[in-house]
Structure 1
Amino acid sequence: MKKLEFLILGKNEAILEILLRLVNANENWNAIGFNHETLAQEYFLKNNLDFVLLSSGIEDHVEKEFTQFCIKNQPEVEVIEHFGGGSGLLQSEIYHRLHLKNKL
């Protein structure tokens, strides 16, 4: 199985660190995190990603614009809005999306 690549965007540093730790705990997943959308966009354009996780602290208009940017530039990317609920919920959201795309 190919390692899944994640970009996490969130403005709450503590939550961003937790999400990075949770995603990177899976040996088949690799995540990088950003707290500013411009830096995240630059990284996004240079890398082929499987998932984008949007976390807490992002303004509504930034969330919408960033989601549109991602889908426009990499239509196959999965964008998930994740604002909490524990590691089990996050993993369930990811596995659900993989199942829907027949990648499990």
Structure 2
Amino acid sequence: MKTLEFLILGKNEAILPILLRLVNANDNWNAVAFNDEKLAQDYFLNTKIDLVLLSSGIEDHVEKEFTAFCLKNQPEVEVIEHFGGGSGLLQSEILHRLHLKGKL
């Protein structure tokens, strides 16, 4: 099975390492996290990303602009807004989206 590449963007410094740990706990998932949207955009432009996770602390306009940027540059990318609810919810959100797109 292909390893899925994740980009996580969030401004809550305490949450980012938790999200990284939860995503990277899956053998077929690889995540990198950023708290700066410009650095995340640079990485995104140079890497094939399967899923973008938007986490807490992002202003609404940044969330909208970053989502539009991602979809413009990699239209097949999945963007998921995840603002809490525990590790089970995160995994369920990801698996549900992958299932809907036929990536499972």
Q: Same fold (TM over 0.5)?
A: yes
Mapped partners of 2:98, 2:7: distance in 1: 16
Number of the residue aligned with 1:59: 59
Q: How many aligned residue pairs are there?
A: 104
Number of the residue aligned with 2:20: 20
Offset of 1:79 from its aligned partner?
Answer: 0.2
Number of the residue aligned with 2:81: 81
Structure 1: gaps (5+ residues): none
Number of the residue aligned with 2:36: 36
TM-score, with structure 2 as normaliser: 0.98
TM-score, with structure 1 as normaliser: 0.98
- The runs of at least 4 consecutive aligned structure 1 residues that moved more than 6 Å come to none
- RMSD over aligned Cα atoms: 0.5
State the identity %: 84
AA partner of residue 47 (structure 2):
N
Mapped partners of 1:35, 1:102: distance in 2: 30
Mapped partners of 1:103, 1:56: distance in 2: 26
